[in-house]
Amino acid sequence: MNDSLWILTVAIIASIACALTGSTLIIRRQALTADAISHAVLPGIFFAYSISGGRNSFWLLPGAAAAGWFAAFLIQGLQSKLKLPSESATGLVFTAMFALGVVLISYYARQVDLDAECLLYGEMAYIPLEQFYLEDTPIGPKALWVLTPVVLFCIITLLPFYRYWNLISFDSIQARMLGYSPVWGHQWLMALVSWVCVAAFQAVGAILVVALMVIPAQTALLYARNLKQVWIQATLWALVSAIGGWLLAELLAAAYAASIGLVSLVALGAVFLFTMPQRNT
Amino acid sequence: MNSSLIGVAIGLVFIATLAGILSVPLLLRRQALSGDLVAHALLPGLVGAFMITGIKETSILLMGAVFTAWIALRLLAPLQKHPRIKSDGAMAVLISGAYALGVFMLSLLQKTENATQAGLDRYLLGSAAALQWQEVWWAVGIFLLIVGGILPNVSALQLWLFDPDQAKMRGINTHRLERGLEIGICLAVMMAVQFVGIVLAAALLIAPALIARPWVNSLLGLWIGAAAISAFAALTGTWISFQSAGMPTGPWIVLSLAIFCTISYACWYAKRIFFQAK
């Protein structure tokens, strides 16, 4: 399989994982949490690197995901205990954690081979360079092997529990009365989002993870009638963006991740104009 | 004490104070993340201005940046007219979309001219150490411009922030106030981004008003408190980062703000519990 096809495969898998988690976030009005978590993983990544030493460590994923989950927990706490407005709480937590990450990285710059810019940009063109080896035989890029379990987990824990997610997202009081706890769903979703962010950040960069989570989901939400529709349509738009963006990047030799984000934005704009209700004059 | 430390401190105090003043209307209007949106939407403008003119002159790049940032800010309201777009979705879409556009344009540029890469990368995390006296004067000028714009309109602003309908009924031109606030935010973030970077510029427009909020009950008090606390955080951050070589200034300012915020709310919480127990 040639290099650019590997990139396309990784893009498709990443965009499916992002679309499923992102659409669940956006119907719960937590779209900005994706933005916050993707930045807040930085100190977690630093701690995982410095404890185990090395980019390929096993601890990277759980360490960073724990930091992301912690950020979500903190935002929730600031909102409910101190009654801060949600945007202020979100902005405060993620900038503080990102600043902490940058400070730690620059303080231990000699020991840790890591910089914050690589986290923010990401470069999909490097995906095929890092192969995963099974007894000295390359079996596909590492990013693929990191992302595949994530996407499987998203599918397994979201789609079969449609009724649960629907209930806790739209009517949490009813959910409680029926004996379903919205709290566990919320915490699980935060953990899932953190995991997707961390798994995808090396490949596509932190801020473009947010683009892949939020934009196809918002596009689907413009016209979908229920949660199942939002999931399916968001995944379709994510696929369209992944393939379209890949083609655009191949044609113009531009950055893959940014092209995918751009195509999804153009799709959102088109659907927006198409579904905007006409004003009664 | 060397002259570069003094220059950096003066520049950052003015930028942080300006951001602190602007954080108050953002908190009251529940638009705290506008600063983040503006910071991210500067990127396509920076790159676009360079693509069109081909000149790596800071003032031209920043004019392009302010232009796209202002457009992104103005897109928030029309997006939310769609019944299926809520405020958080519109914000998240615009932040990530503007950034994706910026990175896309940057990658096109890097393909043709490698030399410029370093110049534009500077804005991502900012660099306070590279601050020059010329930029300090710019910061002072923009500070005076915005404060001069606010002062004659304090009473109108006060009414508009707390009761927009009443302000409209009294015949106050609320559109003018809104445009003024938007332009003020764009200019302040543009200055902040050069020194603290795209990601962290938002913190300067969120934290100061939050820190002051539990302790004061008037708009003027909020303004004074937020301005004082941001100036103090700027000095603290600069001082800490100059203690050891290679320490970034911007992140330390943001961390100081976060620590002040923790202290402020911890005291407030303790006080509330104490008085309730009585």
Residue B137: Cβ within 10 Å count:
13
ipTM: 0.91
Give me the mean pLDDT over the B61-65 stretch.
88
Q: In terms of Cα–Cα distance, which of B222, B132, B149, B242 is closest to B188?
A: B149
Give the pLDDT confidence of B258-275 residue by residue, as tens digits.
Answer: 999 999 999 998 988 888
Give the pLDDT confidence of A119-149 residue by residue, as tens digits.
Answer: 666 667 667 776 767 677 777 777 788 888 8
Give the residue ranges of DSSP H helices in A108-181. 116-121, 142-158, 162-170, 172-177
What pLDDT does residue B236 have? 93
Query: At residue A3, what is the residue type?
Result: D
Give the pLDDT confidence of B44-53 residue by residue, as tens digits.
Answer: 998 899 888 8
Identify whether the C-beta of residue A234 lies closer than 8 Å to the C-beta of residue A219: yes
The residue with greater pLDDT, B201 or B115, is B201
Query: Is the confidence at residue B192, as pLDDT, over 70?
Result: yes
A248/A245 Cα distance (integer angstroms): 5
Instruction: Report chain B residues whose CB lies below 8 A from the CB of A31.
Output: 86, 88-89, 91-93
Q: Which of residues 154-193 of A touch B (CB under 8 A)?
A: none
Q: How confident is the model at residue B277 (pLDDT cuts 50, 70, 90)?
A: low
**Contact A273/B at CB under 8 A:** no
In the block, residue with structure tokens 């332009």: B183
Give me the mean pLDDT over the A87-107 stretch.
90
Give the pLDDT confidence of A4-41 residue by residue, as tens digits.
Answer: 888 899 899 999 999 999 999 999 888 999 889 988 88
Give me the mean pLDDT over the B16-29 stretch.
94
The answer for residues whose C-beta is within 8 angstroms of residue A23's C-beta and 6 or more apart is A216, A217, A220, A221, A230, A231, A234
- Nearest-CA residue of chain A relative to B32? A88
- Nearest-CA residue of chain A relative to B126? A117
Query: Is the confidence at residue B138, as pLDDT, over 60?
Result: yes
Selecting from A88, A258, A268 the residue whose C-beta is nearest the C-beta of B27 gives: A88
The answer for residues whose C-beta is within 8 angstroms of residue A127's C-beta and 6 or more apart is A6, A7, A10, A141, A143, A144, A203
What pLDDT does residue B134 have? 81
What pLDDT does residue B224 have? 95
CB contact (8 A) between residue A214 and residue B246? no
B190/B141 Cα distance (integer angstroms): 13
What pLDDT does residue B115 have? 42
What pLDDT does residue B235 have? 93
In the block, residue with structure tokens 């719960």: A28
**CATH number, domain containing residue B105:** 1.10.3470.10
Beta strands A131-134 and A137-141 are antiparallel
Closest CA of chain A from B97, distance in Å: 6
CB contact (8 A) between residue B202 and residue A218? no
Query: Is the confidence at residue A203, as pLDDT, over 90?
Result: no
Query: Is the confidence at residue A80, as pLDDT, over 50?
Result: yes
Which of A95, A105, A170, A212 would best serve as a mutation to test chain B binding (most B beta carbons within 10 A)? A95
Sketch the domain layout of chain A as residue ranges. Answer: 3-274
What pLDDT does residue B35 have? 92
Identify whether the C-beta of residue A249 lies closer than 8 Å to the C-beta of residue A259: yes
The residue with greater pLDDT, A271 or A253, is A271
Q: In terms of Cα–Cα distance, which of A278, A121, A214, A95 is closest to B81?
A: A278
B211/B203 Cα distance (integer angstroms): 12
What pLDDT does residue A266 have? 96
Give the pLDDT confidence of B64-84 residue by residue, as tens digits.
Answer: 999 999 999 999 989 998 888
Q: How confident is the model at residue B132 (pLDDT cuts 50, 70, 90)?
A: confident
What pLDDT does residue A54 have? 60
Query: At residue A27, what is the residue type?
Result: I
What pLDDT does residue B97 have? 94
What pLDDT does residue A253 have? 86
Selecting from A26, A39, A82 the residue whose C-beta is nearest the C-beta of B199 gives: A39
- Nearest-CA residue of chain B relative to A218? B89
What pLDDT does residue A96 have? 94
Closest CA of chain B from A26, distance in Å: 7
Which of A46, A207, A213 would best serve as a mutation to test chain B binding (most B beta carbons within 10 A)? A207
Burial class (CB in 10 A: 0-12, 13-18, 19+), B197: buried
Residue A117: Cβ within 10 Å count:
12
Q: In terms of Cα–Cα distance, which of A111, A92, A53, A29 is closest to B84?
A: A29
Query: Is the confidence at residue A281, as pLDDT, over 60?
Result: no
Q: How confident is the model at residue A241 (pLDDT cuts 50, 70, 90)?
A: very high
Query: How many separate domains does chain B show?
Result: 1
Q: Which of residues 53-82 of A touch B (CB under 8 A)?
A: 81-82
- Tell the CATH topology of A3-274: ABC transporter involved in vitamin B12 uptake, BtuC (1.10.3470)
Selecting from B35, B96, B103 the residue whose C-beta is nearest the C-beta of A210 gives: B96
Number of CB pairs, chain A paired with chain B, less than 8 A apart: 189
Instruction: Report chain B residues whose CB lies below 8 A from the CB of A92.
Output: 203, 206-207, 210, 258, 261
Tell me what percent of chain A is helix, strand and coil, each rounded to the nearest 5: 80, 5, 15
Burial class (CB in 10 A: 0-12, 13-18, 19+), A79: middle
CB contact (8 A) between residue B81 and residue A215? no
Report the Cα–Cα distance between both ends of chain A, in Å, rounded: 57
**Contact A98/B at CB under 8 A:** yes
Element (H, E) at B223: helix B219-241
Poorest-confidence range of B23-27, B74-78, B105-109, B140-144?
A: B105-109
Single pTM value for the model: 0.91
Instruction: Report chain A residues whose CB lies below 8 A from the CB of B79.
Output: 272
Q: Which of residues 107-126 of A touch B (CB under 8 A)?
A: 107, 109, 116-117, 120-121
The answer for residues whose C-beta is within 8 angstroms of residue B139's C-beta and 6 or more apart is B11, B14, B15, B18, B191
B204/B237 Cα distance (integer angstroms): 12
Q: In terms of Cα–Cα distance, which of A120, A138, A121 is closest to A129?
A: A138
Residue B256: Cβ within 10 Å count:
24
| DSSP string for residues in B36-68 | HHHHHHHHHHHHHHHHHH----HHHHHHHHHHH
CB contact (8 A) between residue B33 and residue A32? yes
Give the pLDDT confidence of B243-258 residue by residue, as tens digits.
Answer: 877 778 889 999 999 9
Closest CA of chain B from A103, distance in Å: 6
B114/B107 Cα distance (integer angstroms): 10
CB contact (8 A) between residue B97 and residue A258? no
Query: Is the confidence at residue B3, as pLDDT, over 70?
Result: no
CB contact (8 A) between residue B93 and residue A205? no
